[in-house]
Amino acid sequence: MKRAVLIILLLSIGALSAVAFAATPKNPGPEIINLKMGVMILPFSHRKHQQDLNNECFHCHPKKTGGKIDNWNKETAHQICISCHDLEEKGPVECKQCHKK
């Protein structure tokens, strides 16, 4: 009985470790990315967003492996960022929250 419990415990630990390592991206990218918004620079907390999204890069990036977002511009930011912030009910959603004068 003790042997069966020990085997189940070891298998559970191994499975949880595999999930934890699989969820970590190969290239986590920088902690902060300075996004160009016209003449403005918007500091983006990349690492925090990765953690909030369980390292599921495909939510923002077109490929699951990550990489630069092609054609980054106002429309892209509004489509990706605002829709997610609105859905999660956290983060900036109003113009002046990102576009500070």
Q: Are 44 and 34 in contact (CB under 8 A)?
A: yes
Q: Residue 50 class from Cβ within 10 Å (0-12 exposed, 13-18 middle, 19+ buried)?
A: buried
pLDDT of residue 12: 67
CA angle 91, 97, 101 (to 5 degrees): 155
Write the DSSP assignment of 32-64 as a string of letters. EEEEEETTEEEEEEHHHHHHHTTT-GGGTSSST
pLDDT (mean) for 25-52:
83
- Is pLDDT of 30 > 70? yes
The topology (CATH level 3) of 28-98 is Cytochrome C3 (3.90.10)
Is residue 46 very low, low, confident or very high in pLDDT (cuts 50, 70, 90)?
very high
pLDDT (mean) for 73-96:
87
What's at 2, amino acid-wise?
A: K
Would you kindly state where each structural domain of the chain is located, as residue ranges?
Answer: 28-98
